[in-house]
Chains A and B, each alone.
Chain A
């Protein structure tokens, strides 16, 4: 029980004291790591350490995600005395002996991974370290289920500082000065939001952490909650103090069971330690946190819809104003901040706004976490300073395009964002540059597409997602997006005309101009950005009735050319048996029966099948 800040600091000093176990073996145990097989790896390492009687000098730590999805299970071995560390990827249980045998150097036969990140709080960046980890500073480093691990890393020091040294106004001023903008997508200045709510006279105010992460392929909030739950709880208490709220909710998707479990543990630990609940750190400040589960509706990430969902109503947005900061949950002033936004707070309070502003750009200070996905070599989670060029992210951190194919586009901002072409790869990533290009920051999904992707089809794919996830309240989103989708279908099926393209663009612009909420207003972005950046692809679909990427099945056909040696491989693999021909003679595809699955094209070893 920490009934004052000194006790907490004392405990942190104790925990940081040189330990008898200078070697830390950290196993990345987020949902993704576990799915990839981290549990048997952990068991094998444990067994190996025990068998070698190294328990007294080696500490095995189950951590959250390091972000190396492309090579899970991953582990990091750190010698806290020398400061040296090594990261292994694609670790198998069978690698445990060689790894444990070589705790000080690289184990032969196991993939090593370059540490592409640095911790701005502790060190200066190395040459290849394009990542700066503030949000993910503890993720993959501490055991998220141990409060001590968090306390040892300056945990709850920011809350202590706020409660002992700062007025609510000073906290807001510090956040305002830091220039922190909402990481959920909109980029609204966090300090301003807090200020609005703080200025409201009300007996009750609420604070909500938006953990309803819903962009396809985005999982940064899950990583933070699974890897460093206390950082969010601490930040929420700070925000509560700043605006005068004593109750906080974390609205989290029910599909995140591990994050929920770790949050529950963390809340209980913090309450028992006097870091949450009544009289936090012996002060007269009370703050309680409760979990609320989302049922998997993307639109509930929109703050008014989220609030209605907590209230037990249908999760659909309402018109703003009134803004939640004035009238939110149960009609009371309410602040909704995203997980990643909260994960920045404690560092800003501890290290100051000026320190925070050193990272990132003038108008978008700090870092942003991105989930790299799609046709990229190193799929995973990265955290880079705002202003980092897209090219650096994709070709450096991401390792370039999968199978060394040609880069075609990158979709930022999830289904509400836009597809940026190669010519825009040098765009520095920040709220305003992305918006200027017709995309958006969004919550940080980044999906890379290559030459095999048809951009009309991609636009259709994203639109289908928003269509499914639209609440259906307003006309432009409910019907307008359906019509957009139908037009894209026409185009992909070869039934589009020049007029279809004109209608598509006009309607998309009108939807942007008229939709009720952020989801609706941004839903045509994939259509508009592909229309402007990949106009030639639309033209070839409409004029030549061809899909150059070979994706739109109605617009392609497979034919066998004279390179065919009659090996029969294609005929044997064809799922609808529409390929005929004698052995050692040229085969023929029955075009009427062909379902254009492309199996023959992919199996032929003689380049004898053309896709036209």
Chain B
């Protein structure tokens, strides 16, 4: 342990702690900007590059960046001397001198850490002005917008992309004032191996990285009388959207969300959880088949489009491994434009399927050519949790004040197994619940596979499924996925089933979720909420979803049938690794 004093207060911290951590321990907040720590994943961007957090350290010639200066025994730190305050203000002033001042119309307005800092640091007058960086905005892909004029070189995106996700397409390029975060060959994201997980967007403190915004497309669809507009909402949306409306993190907003969506004017409000249950039917069938034949193991989950694209680019030799089952979003779209369309007597092209997703890769997924039939996409518009919150706000819908409502039928019924898709480990647990029942031929009472739950990056365990030992692993975060895949490739580990989610912690921490600004307690709360929602439901196994059973009876025959394959399965394509 190390003893030091900060602003004349004694503090005792672990060796290796930084001044920032020590100050935090005694309630002294030192402003930061480039620093980002997601402690539950041991993710840290410790660049020390913005110099906002500089403090005075006795005996040191220059100011010390609190975020990366380790504490020493007897260290004397002053965080708010005039020298430190002036330096900090100058740093902020300089950053703002190279930053567009279009805060009022910026996508990040109200959610910008730079904006908040300017307010906190009481900066009302800018001293420095001069030339500003000018870059072409990258609007080429349908998931992420990169507006480098707003980049402040904090490198948080780079850390997310290279170190956390190991996708590796972002790097500092250029020198001096021309230094900026760039892609290989400065190509647009659409021409790189970007997987559109959106973790860079989640990490960006300013408006340099945002989602491609499709709110207006939704407004247009809702106002087109010729269209039948249905919406599906992903499991992780309901445990996060409330945060945008003053609800406490972890408060489940399902019923209010449904009410809000109905108020917005959707013809039907459905649940992606229904499709998640459907996914489990197909995926578990495939899993049991592979398990019995003992071939093509392990089976990898395929619900996460970021993960699928990552595999296609970086592990093309393993593309036989993922389940061929489409993701819930795409299963929903396929069913909505076939089964549901027929039921309602509508032409598929007259139905608009809108998805609300915690994810940005889902925007990309919906545009994959495999998911279009006869020129009609299964899913038409994908918006993120944040975009939906914006739409509610624009429409004056304060969901917190709404009476709860129920999803519509027939694509609104779901089980707890569908809900837990939103947390890392959830897809696997849902599959295990069904597999156990199917293999044992019983309705088992013990089906909480708690050992597969959690936020940690890689977990593996052996679970008993109907008397058989099934070795499973879960990875969230693509860097962890890479480690796991490398272990499999080298033969160091063998599993029967693996769940992989691109975002650390799973969908609850997706690239389209309300910003957490480094507050990982929010993620813990979202996770708890997901399992709370699961345990509160009477039906908690996918194969017991009555509407799913009905769908098979009326339309698909049985899981793994020809019809099911036609509608609910897909294939993967090797892609270039750059």
Chain A residue nearest in CB terms to B62: A513
Task: Determine if B174 is an interface residue (Cβ-Cβ < 8 Å).
Answer: yes
Task: Determine if B130 is an interface residue (Cβ-Cβ < 8 Å).
Answer: yes
Closest Cβ–Cβ distance, residue B205 to chain A (whole Å):
13
Chain A residue nearest in CB terms to B70: A321
Task: Determine if A549 is an interface residue (Cβ-Cβ < 8 Å).
Answer: no
Closest Cβ–Cβ distance, residue A223 to chain B (whole Å):
28
For the complex, what is the distance from the CA of A321 to the CA of B70, rounded to whole Å?
Answer: 8
Q: How large is the interface on B (under 10, 10 to 19, 20 to 34, 35 or more residues)?
A: 35 or more
Task: Determine if A151 is an interface residue (Cβ-Cβ < 8 Å).
Answer: no
For the complex, what is the distance from the CA of A449 to the CA of B381, rounded to whole Å?
Answer: 67
Whether the Cβ atoms of A471 and B175 lie closer than 8 Å is: yes
Contacts of A470 in B (CB 8 A): 175-177, 179
Whether the Cβ atoms of A510 and B49 lie closer than 8 Å is: no
Interface string of A464-508 (1 = CB under 8 A from B): 000111111111111111110010000000000000000100110
- CB contact between B51 and one of A318, A469, A486, A514 (< 8 Å): that residue: A514
For the complex, what is the distance from the CA of A503 to the CA of B90, rounded to whole Å?
Answer: 11
A residues 311-354 with Cβ under 8 Å of B? 314, 316, 318-319, 321
- CB contact between A472 and one of B51, B68, B131, B174 (< 8 Å): that residue: B174
Contacts of B47 in A (CB 8 A): 473
Chain A residue nearest in CB terms to B158: A314
- CB contact between B172 and one of A473, A477, A513, A521 (< 8 Å): that residue: A473
Closest Cβ–Cβ distance, residue B510 to chain A (whole Å):
29
> Could you list 24 examples of A-B contacts with CB < 8 Å?
A316-B172, A319-B65, A319-B68, A319-B69, A469-B175, A470-B177, A471-B175, A472-B178, A474-B51, A475-B49, A475-B51, A475-B91, A475-B95, A478-B176, A479-B98, A482-B130, A483-B130, A503-B128, A506-B90, A510-B86, A512-B62, A513-B83, A514-B87, A516-B51
For the complex, what is the distance from the CA of A503 to the CA of B97, rounded to whole Å?
Answer: 14
Whether the Cβ atoms of B49 and A479 lie closer than 8 Å is: no
Closest Cβ–Cβ distance, residue B330 to chain A (whole Å):
38
Whether the Cβ atoms of B62 and A472 lie closer than 8 Å is: no
Closest Cβ–Cβ distance, residue A146 to chain B (whole Å):
41
For the complex, what is the distance from the CA of A376 to the CA of B179, rounded to whole Å?
Answer: 37
Whether the Cβ atoms of B48 and A472 lie closer than 8 Å is: no
Whether the Cβ atoms of B128 and A483 lie closer than 8 Å is: yes
Q: A321-B70, A473-B153 are in contact. Are A478 and B51 (CB under 8 A)?
A: no
Task: Determine if B498 is an interface residue (Cβ-Cβ < 8 Å).
Answer: no
Whether the Cβ atoms of A473 and B177 lie closer than 8 Å is: no
B residues 158-207 with Cβ under 8 Å of A? 171-180
For the complex, what is the distance from the CA of A531 to the CA of B222, rounded to whole Å?
Answer: 65
Task: Determine if B63 is an interface residue (Cβ-Cβ < 8 Å).
Answer: yes
For the complex, what is the distance from the CA of A139 to the CA of B300, rounded to whole Å?
Answer: 66
- CB contact between A521 and one of B62, B70, B173 (< 8 Å): that residue: B62
Whether the Cβ atoms of A480 and B175 lie closer than 8 Å is: no
Interface centre among A481, A503, A513 (most CB of B within 10 A): A513
Chain B residue nearest in CB terms to A476: B51
Closest Cβ–Cβ distance, residue B372 to chain A (whole Å):
40
Contacts of A514 in B (CB 8 A): 51, 54, 62-63, 87, 90-91
For the complex, what is the distance from the CA of A287 to the CA of B325, rounded to whole Å?
Answer: 57
Task: Determine if B259 is an interface residue (Cβ-Cβ < 8 Å).
Answer: no
Chain B residue nearest in CB terms to A486: B130
A residues 93-144 with Cβ under 8 Å of B? none
Task: Determine if A297 is an interface residue (Cβ-Cβ < 8 Å).
Answer: yes
Whether the Cβ atoms of A472 and B179 lie closer than 8 Å is: yes
Closest Cβ–Cβ distance, residue A251 to chain B (whole Å):
18
Contacts of A474 in B (CB 8 A): 48-51
Closest Cβ–Cβ distance, residue A467 to chain B (whole Å):
5
Whether the Cβ atoms of A479 and B178 lie closer than 8 Å is: no
Task: Determine if B112 is an interface residue (Cβ-Cβ < 8 Å).
Answer: no
Interface string of B260-289 (1 = CB under 8 A from A): 000000000000000000000000000000
Interface string of B75-100 (1 = CB under 8 A from A): 00000000100110011001101100
Whether the Cβ atoms of B51 and A479 lie closer than 8 Å is: no
Give B contacts to A, CB under 8 Å: 46-52, 54, 62-63, 65, 68-70, 83, 86-87, 90-91, 94-95, 97-98, 127-128, 130-131, 153, 155, 171-180
Whether the Cβ atoms of A468 and B176 lie closer than 8 Å is: yes
For the complex, what is the distance from the CA of A472 to the CA of B177, rounded to whole Å?
Answer: 6
Q: Given A475-B52, A475-B153, 5 more contacts at CB 8 Å? A: A470-B179, A475-B49, A475-B51, A478-B153, A478-B177
Contacts of A516 in B (CB 8 A): 48-49, 51, 65
Contacts of B94 in A (CB 8 A): 475-476, 479-480, 483
For the complex, what is the distance from the CA of A374 to the CA of B51, rounded to whole Å?
Answer: 36
Closest Cβ–Cβ distance, residue B143 to chain A (whole Å):
26
Contacts of B128 in A (CB 8 A): 479, 483, 503, 507
Contacts of B48 in A (CB 8 A): 318-319, 474, 516
Interface string of A201-221 (1 = CB under 8 A from B): 000000000000000000000
Whether the Cβ atoms of B51 and A471 lie closer than 8 Å is: no
Interface string of A284-307 (1 = CB under 8 A from B): 000000000000010100000000
Closest Cβ–Cβ distance, residue A321 to chain B (whole Å):
6
Contacts of A481 in B (CB 8 A): 176
Closest Cβ–Cβ distance, residue B304 to chain A (whole Å):
29
Contacts of A515 in B (CB 8 A): 51, 62
Closest Cβ–Cβ distance, residue A549 to chain B (whole Å):
26
Q: A473-B47, A476-B51 are in contact. Are A297 and B175 (CB under 8 A)?
A: yes
Contacts of B46 in A (CB 8 A): 319
Whether the Cβ atoms of A479 and B127 lie closer than 8 Å is: no
Closest Cβ–Cβ distance, residue A312 to chain B (whole Å):
11
Closest Cβ–Cβ distance, residue B442 to chain A (whole Å):
53
Which 4 pairs show the lowest CB-CB distances between chains A and B?
A: A472-B179, A470-B176, A479-B94, A319-B48
Contacts of B153 in A (CB 8 A): 472-473, 475, 478
Whether the Cβ atoms of B175 and A468 lie closer than 8 Å is: yes
Whether the Cβ atoms of B95 and A482 lie closer than 8 Å is: no
Interface centre among A470, A471, A473, A506 (most CB of B within 10 A): A473
A residues 443-480 with Cβ under 8 Å of B? 467-480
Chain A residue nearest in CB terms to B89: A510
Contacts of B171 in A (CB 8 A): 314
Contacts of A506 in B (CB 8 A): 90
For the complex, what is the distance from the CA of A473 to the CA of B50, rounded to whole Å?
Answer: 8
For the complex, what is the distance from the CA of A472 to the CA of B176, rounded to whole Å?
Answer: 4
For the complex, what is the distance from the CA of A569 to the CA of B47, rounded to whole Å?
Answer: 61
Whether the Cβ atoms of A482 and B131 lie closer than 8 Å is: yes
Interface centre among A318, A483, A503 (most CB of B within 10 A): A483
For the complex, what is the distance from the CA of A506 to the CA of B51, rounded to whole Å?
Answer: 16
Closest Cβ–Cβ distance, residue B116 to chain A (whole Å):
17
Whether the Cβ atoms of A510 and B87 lie closer than 8 Å is: yes
Closest Cβ–Cβ distance, residue B45 to chain A (whole Å):
12
For the complex, what is the distance from the CA of A467 to the CA of B178, rounded to whole Å?
Answer: 10
Closest Cβ–Cβ distance, residue A521 to chain B (whole Å):
6
Whether the Cβ atoms of B175 and A472 lie closer than 8 Å is: yes
Q: A475-B49, A480-B94, A516-B48 are in contact. Are A467 and B172 (CB under 8 A)?
A: no
Whether the Cβ atoms of B97 and A479 lie closer than 8 Å is: yes
For the complex, what is the distance from the CA of A479 to the CA of B131, rounded to whole Å?
Answer: 10
Contacts of A297 in B (CB 8 A): 175
Contacts of B174 in A (CB 8 A): 472
Contacts of B155 in A (CB 8 A): 473
Whether the Cβ atoms of B176 and A469 lie closer than 8 Å is: yes
Contacts of A471 in B (CB 8 A): 172, 175-176, 179
Contacts of A467 in B (CB 8 A): 176-177
Closest Cβ–Cβ distance, residue B86 to chain A (whole Å):
7
- CB contact between A486 and one of B131, B172, B173, B175 (< 8 Å): that residue: B131
For the complex, what is the distance from the CA of A486 to the CA of B127, rounded to whole Å?
Answer: 13
For the complex, what is the distance from the CA of A299 to the CA of B176, rounded to whole Å?
Answer: 10
Chain A residue nearest in CB terms to B68: A319
Closest Cβ–Cβ distance, residue A18 to chain B (whole Å):
57
For the complex, what is the distance from the CA of A249 to the CA of B97, rounded to whole Å?
Answer: 41
Interface centre among A297, A472, A476, A507 (most CB of B within 10 A): A472
Closest Cβ–Cβ distance, residue A90 to chain B (whole Å):
40
Contacts of B90 in A (CB 8 A): 476, 480, 506-507, 510, 514
